[in-house]
Amino acid sequence: MTMTTGAGLARRRWSALLWGLLGVVLLAVLWEGYKAVGPPTGVVLFDTSILPKTDDRSMPHLVDMLSRAIEPVNTSAGSPPVWVAVIGAALTSLGVAAVGWAIGSVVGFLIALLMQRLQVTERAVLPWLILSQTVPLIALAPVIVAWGGKIQIGAFSWDRWMSVAVIASYLAFFPVAVGALRGLQSPDTIHVELMRSYNAGWFRTLLKLRLPASVPYLLPALRLGAASAIVGTVVAEVSTGYKGGIGRMIIEFAQSGTSDPAKAYAPIAGAVVLGLVSAGIVALIGLTLRRFNRQEAAS
Amino acid sequence: MTDTARTTTPAPSEVLPAISVRAAGKIFTVAKGAEVQALTGIDLTVAPGEFVSLIGPSGCGKSTLLRLIADLDSATSGEILVFGKTARQARLDQEYGIAFQSAGLLPWRSVQANIELPLELHGVGKAERAARAEELIELVGLTDFRSRFPDQLSGGMQQRVAIARSLAERPKLLLMDEPFGALDEMTRERMQQELVRICSETGAAVVFVTHSIPEAVFLSDRVVVMSPRPGRIVDIVSVDLGAGTSRSDSLRENPAFFAGVTAVREALHGSPVAPLGADLR
């Protein structure tokens, strides 16, 4: 697969883009189609709502969402258009998420390293890692905010955005730890024995063999971690009450839902785009490591 | 019987043997504490520059013996000396080069970088590394491929890179575990011929694990015939086909070559092999 020609690669990229667009169009058709034919009161089966109501308050037209996005946020003078406010909030969230992702990736990688080095830790730590991801973020957020509030070292004081970043890192470290562990363990026995025959110690083996071999596993893990960091940031913003980010904006706009239903969809779309952008940025980092993505030589 | 075969090698007082194995045994502990006797009572001496093949059916412990010499496993009994040192010390001192059945090249390294790997690990300078790699690339005939990556090479080429890599530090001992096992017959014969040439040029002693009788006879000065359950040496057949440089393809049709093949076959089967048409297996 590494010998794919430039033309073939370009064609594949185009078709990927086309399929992506088709997905968006399909979603739009589904939305508007159901809105056109579905009953206004929704579908209720045995007192359970199966399908949503189709009135304009529950399901605004796509056109309304778009036109609302270019109107000002509110009626006060000098209020920016919604899309500008969304981009601003998204960038704030991106910054916090990036810090969370970086911390989470470093911590996740160090944990993986520890687990690779000492098999005992793998058996002892891995179940805890999995358990850590089942703790609801909503429950965790107030604890972290409370702990953070107690930290004050000289001129440094804990800021609310740091709590958000910590929660984001809490989600981001997991895929990185698991992916990095698999990657570090991926070299064949023959490679490990070869390093042994060269009398290369653990660190040399790590540097020359395990690290490069882990790249194909690490890159998707980092991408997943980036998406997790965004989700963590959005949720943490809401549960910690941090203002200025996209998560907070989704809540604020949704609260004006009854009078202005189309407004809330702009920050939601913003959050989706944010996830894509962050994954894209990590993919760009991955391009610099393409050499290590070569397939195992078939012999 | 092994004693008589060893008389051809010089006594240890004259020259330090490349390998000296005395009464070595290996027991593997498998599940539930059960034990498998992989090797028992192994006595073997390999002289410097000598080419010795280990041959035998699957499970006879020939690969295990090689791994003991390489210190990739440790013997449960007996003594293994490599150039007078313990196997472990010999590994720490980088006394041998090793090649396995699969080439085991690092996929993210070019041909040249793969060959340089052991040198790099042992702190050899960049210029010196490149010069040595250049020599070796020429030796194994891959001059046009030095910047290719392993996935762009055929199986035979990959194996040549692996052999070049095993020679990188000019070891006086080469350990090879069925290095041509995965190659097709024609590539295999060509690689064998190149190997005898390379070995006689470098003067290294070789321990070569194989389960091909013609391969063992063509390459070796002596063929060590092993038998399974428990793994042991049943015979050592001396093959006198002349120096490595003089061994060419025509040797494969030589009566002396056939005599060697027959001798090894008889040792493997434990009785005189019946003439063609009456296979007594």
pLDDT in tens, B255-267: 777 877 888 888 8
Concatenated DSSP letters for B164-178?
A: HHHHTT--SEEEEES
B107 to chain A: which residues are within 8 Å by CB?
Answer: 294-297
Is some CB atom of chain A closer than 8 A to the CB atom of B108?
A: yes
A→B interface, C-beta within 8 Å: 2-3, 188, 190-191, 193-200, 204, 208-209, 212, 215, 291-292, 294-299
Judge if B210 and B159 occupy the same domain. no
Does the pTM surpass 0.95? The reply is: no
Find which of A2, A189, A198 to mutate to test the B interface (most B CBs within 10 Å of its CB): A198
Judge if B176 and B55 occupy the same domain. yes
Determine whether the interchain pair A198/B94 forms a contact, defined as Cβ–Cβ distance below 8 Å.
yes
What is the pLDDT at residue A176? 92
- The residues in B 62-81 lying below 8 A from A, measured between CB atoms, are 70-72
Judge if B79 and B26 occupy the same domain. yes
Q: Tell me which residue has tokens 């520890």.
A: A114
Does residue B72 have a pLDDT over 80?
yes
> B59 CA to chain A: closest CA distance, Å?
19
The minimal CB distance from B72 to the residues A3, A197, A294 is found for: A197
What is the pLDDT at residue B76? 84
Average pLDDT, chain B: 81
Determine whether the interchain pair A297/B151 forms a contact, defined as Cβ–Cβ distance below 8 Å.
yes
Is some CB atom of chain A closer than 8 A to the CB atom of B168?
A: no
Determine whether the interchain pair A209/B106 forms a contact, defined as Cβ–Cβ distance below 8 Å.
yes
What is the pLDDT at residue B6? 43
From CA A158, how far away is CA A240, in angstroms rounded?
Answer: 13
Q: Which of A38-42, B100-104, B274-278 has the highest mean pLDDT?
A: B100-104
The minimal CB distance from B108 to the residues A294, A298, A299 is found for: A294
- The residues in B 28-47 lying below 8 A from A, measured between CB atoms, are none
Judge if B124 and B67 occupy the same domain. no
Name the residue in chain B with its Cα closest to that of A298.
B151
Judge if B146 and B240 occupy the same domain. no
> A46 CA to chain B: closest CA distance, Å?
58
At residue A259's C-alpha, the angle toward residues A257 and A263, to 5°, is 50
Task: Return the closest-CA partner of residue B204 out of B75, B46, B90, B87.
Answer: B46
The minimal CB distance from B121 to the residues A208, A291, A296 is found for: A208
Judge if B57 and B10 occupy the same domain. yes
Judge if B82 and B179 occupy the same domain. yes
Determine whether the interchain pair B94/A199 forms a contact, defined as Cβ–Cβ distance below 8 Å.
yes
Give per-residue pLDDT as tens, B222-253.
Answer: 888 888 888 888 888 888 776 655 677 777 77
Which residues are B99's β-sheet partners? B176
Judge if B263 and B176 occupy the same domain. yes
B157 to chain A: which residues are within 8 Å by CB?
Answer: none
Judge if B39 and B57 occupy the same domain. yes
Find which of A190, A191, A197, A292 to mutate to test the B interface (most B CBs within 10 Å of its CB): A197
The minimal CB distance from A200 to the residues B70, B108, B121 is found for: B121
CATH homologous superfamily for the domain A61-293: MetI-like (1.10.3720.10)
Name the residue in chain B with its Cα closest to that of A188.
B104
What is the pLDDT at residue A99? 92
ipTM of the complex: 0.79
Structure token digits, residue A190: 């023959």
Domain ranges of chain A: 31-60, 61-293
Which residues are A48's β-sheet partners? A45
Does residue B163 have a pLDDT over 70?
yes
> A187 CA to chain B: closest CA distance, Å?
9
Determine whether the interchain pair B98/A197 forms a contact, defined as Cβ–Cβ distance below 8 Å.
yes
Structure token digits, residue A44: 């209720």
Determine whether the interchain pair B151/A298 forms a contact, defined as Cβ–Cβ distance below 8 Å.
yes
Task: Return the closest-CA partner of residue B100 out of B180, B177, B205.
Answer: B177
From residue A78, give the alpha-carbon distance in Å to each of A71, A72, A73, A81, A90. Answer: 12, 8, 10, 9, 20
Find which of B86, B102, B116 to mutate to test the A interface (most A CBs within 10 Å of its CB): B102
From CA A253, how far away is CA A251, in angstroms rounded?
Answer: 6
Does residue B281 have a pLDDT over 80?
no
B98 to chain A: which residues are within 8 Å by CB?
Answer: 194, 197
What is the pLDDT at residue B277? 47
Judge if B78 and B187 occupy the same domain. yes
Domain-located, residue B274: no
Does residue B52 have a pLDDT over 70?
yes
Domain-located, residue B43: yes
Domain residues for B143?
Answer: 102-170
Compute the count of residue pairs across chains A and B with CB atoms less than 8 Å apart: 71
What is the pLDDT at residue B246? 67
Give per-residue pLDDT as tens, B1-25.
Answer: 444 444 444 444 567 888 888 888 8
At residue B124's C-alpha, the angle toward residues B123 and B129, to 5°, is 140
Say how many domains are in chain B. Answer: 2
A2 to chain B: which residues are within 8 Å by CB?
Answer: 149, 151
Residue A297 DSSP SS3? coil
Does residue B220 have a pLDDT over 80?
yes
Residue A136 DSSP SS3? coil
A286 to chain B: which residues are within 8 Å by CB?
Answer: none
What is the pLDDT at residue B101? 85
Is some CB atom of chain A closer than 8 A to the CB atom of B113?
A: no
Structure token digits, residue A93: 């969230």
Judge if B192 and B258 occupy the same domain. yes
pLDDT along chain A (299 residues), means of 10: 60 86 91 84 76 79 83 75 86 90 93 87 82 81 79 75 88 91 89 89 89 89 90 86 84 78 84 88 84 59
Is some CB atom of chain A closer than 8 A to the CB atom of B158?
A: yes
> A299 CA to chain B: closest CA distance, Å?
5
**Phi (first) and psi of residue A41, to 5 degrees:** -90, 0
Structure token digits, residue B215: 């391969």
Domain-located, residue B139: yes
What is the pLDDT at residue B279? 47
From CA B91, how far away is CA A142, in angstroms rounded?
Answer: 57
Determine whether the interchain pair A292/B96 forms a contact, defined as Cβ–Cβ distance below 8 Å.
no
Cβ–Cβ under 8 Å, residues A278 and A229: yes
Is some CB atom of chain A closer than 8 A to the CB atom of B151?
A: yes
In the predicted model, what is the mean pLDDT of residues B27-35? 80
Judge if B71 and B86 occupy the same domain. yes
From CA B145, how far away is CA B128, in angstroms rounded?
Answer: 20
The minimal CB distance from A299 to the residues B118, B149, B155 is found for: B155
Domain-located, residue B276: no
Q: Tell me which residue has tokens 């078709």.
A: A15
More confident residue, B277 or B77: B77
From CA A215, how far away is CA A286, in angstroms rounded?
Answer: 9
